[in-house]
């Protein structure tokens, strides 16, 4: 393409989604090598659209931009029931202590062999006959092991009353249904070791919820209160739990059922059976 106008560039930018390099504008049809003057014109058009607040530089590296979203419609508060509870049931009778609103997420940060997957699978079973329950799992250990663990809880896995998807990453892409419970086992640490990417992954899941709740498993070091990714993984969670072998601890609970009760650092001890899905001998724990 040898000739193009600013209006053409503007319309392309308004129609695009996500981040883009300016050379991708008009789907890369502007051949800068064959027409060097087009480079100057395109950069001038991009600069003008930034001033018009159509696009903005995202600052990752030179030449990367994103479309500026239009102002959304004002929130209509009339249909909002501020006393509506999500209805989600959690292991350890946690709902006796913690209020869980719709459109919120719960993080279960667990060390190796802590019972994290058992907690998540118990959450599926506790809710599967009450709420549309969707289990997103990376199938660690294989599909046979996952099926065996549910069968150990007495679940008919020929026609289980929940939906399972095998998902390895980009879990937010699987968040489609309204009024549902999503249980995610688990968001793995990126192979590149970019722990800082875990918190944005949580934010993307949160943004996709439509009157739903997500219970999300993360990995952590033994003895640590926070998952890989650090305290940034705490930001979006309405409830944040840490699990070590034989211990469950509330790290943060945004809303207590009883405002007079301090839930931070409340702990329980427990045992679980050989399959690691049935928790037994649950007792309050007052140690360190």
In the predicted structure, residue 277 carries a pLDDT above the cut 80: no
pLDDT digits (tens, 9 = 90+) for 113-132: 899 999 999 999 999 999 99
pLDDT (0 to 100) of residue 17: 87
- What gap in Å lies between CA 225 and CA 183, rounded to an integer? 21
CB atoms within 10 A of CB 106: 23
Per DSSP, 55 falls in state E
Give burial (CB, 10 Å; 0-12/13-18/19+) of 185. Answer: buried
In the predicted structure, residue 53 carries a pLDDT above the cut 70: yes
- What gap in Å lies between CA 286 and CA 274, rounded to an integer? 26
| Residue whose C-alpha is closest to residue 153's, from 121, 120, 110 | 121
Report the side by side order of strands in the sheet with 55-57.
Answer: 19-21, 64-67, 55-57
Q: State the pLDDT confidence band at 23, using cuts at 50, 70 and 90.
A: confident
Q: CA–CA distance from 175 to each of 183, 211, 216 (Å)?
A: 11, 11, 13
**Global confidence as pTM:** 0.81
In the predicted structure, residue 164 carries a pLDDT above the cut 60: yes
Q: CA–CA distance from 181 to each of 9, 220, 256, 275 (Å)?
A: 42, 23, 21, 24
CB atoms within 10 A of CB 213: 25
pLDDT (0 to 100) of residue 276: 58
pLDDT (0 to 100) of residue 159: 93
pLDDT digits (tens, 9 = 90+) for 86-115: 999 999 999 999 999 999 999 999 999 899
- What gap in Å lies between CA 217 and CA 122, rounded to an integer? 13
- What gap in Å lies between CA 80 and CA 219, rounded to an integer? 35
pLDDT (0 to 100) of residue 140: 85
pLDDT (0 to 100) of residue 59: 77
Average pLDDT over residues 158-187: 95
Average pLDDT over residues 231-239: 94
Average pLDDT, the chain: 91
Tokens (6 digits) for 185: 């086992």
């Amino acid at each position: 393409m040898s000739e193009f106008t600013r209006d053409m560039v503007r319309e392309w930018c308004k129609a695009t989604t996500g981040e883009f390099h300016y050379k991708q504008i008009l789907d890369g049809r502007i051949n800068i090598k064959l027409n060097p003057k087009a480079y100057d014109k395109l950069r001038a058009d991009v600069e003008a659209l930034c001033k018009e607040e159509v696009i903005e530089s995202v600052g990752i590296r030179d030449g990367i931009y994103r479309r500026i979203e239009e102002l959304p419609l004002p929130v209509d508060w009339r249909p909002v029931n501020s006393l509506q509870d999500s209805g989600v049931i959690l292991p350890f009778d946690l709902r006796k202590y913690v209020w869980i609103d719709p459109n919120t997420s719960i993080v279960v940060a667990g060390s190796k062999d802590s019972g994290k997957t058992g907690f998540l699978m118990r959450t599926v079973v506790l809710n599967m006959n009450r709420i549309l329950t969707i289990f997103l799992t990376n199938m660690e250990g294989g599909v046979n092991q996952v099926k065996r663990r549910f069968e150990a809880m007495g679940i008919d896995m020929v026609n289980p009353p929940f939906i399972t998807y095998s998902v390895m990453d980009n879990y937010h892409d699987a968040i489609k249904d309204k009024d549902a419970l999503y249980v995610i086992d688990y968001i793995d640490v990126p192979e590149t070791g970019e722990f800082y990417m875990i918190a944005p992954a949580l934010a993307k899941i949160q943004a996709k919820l439509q009157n739903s709740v997500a219970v999300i498993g993360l990995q952590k070091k033994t003895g640590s209160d926070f998952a890989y990714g650090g305290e940034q993984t705490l930001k979006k969670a309405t409830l944040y739990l840490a699990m070590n072998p034989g211990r469950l601890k509330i790290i943060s609970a945004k809303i207590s059922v009883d405002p007079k009760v301090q839930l931070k650092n409340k702990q329980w001890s427990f045992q679980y059976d050989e399959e690691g899905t049935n928790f037994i001998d649950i007792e309050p724990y007052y140690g360190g």
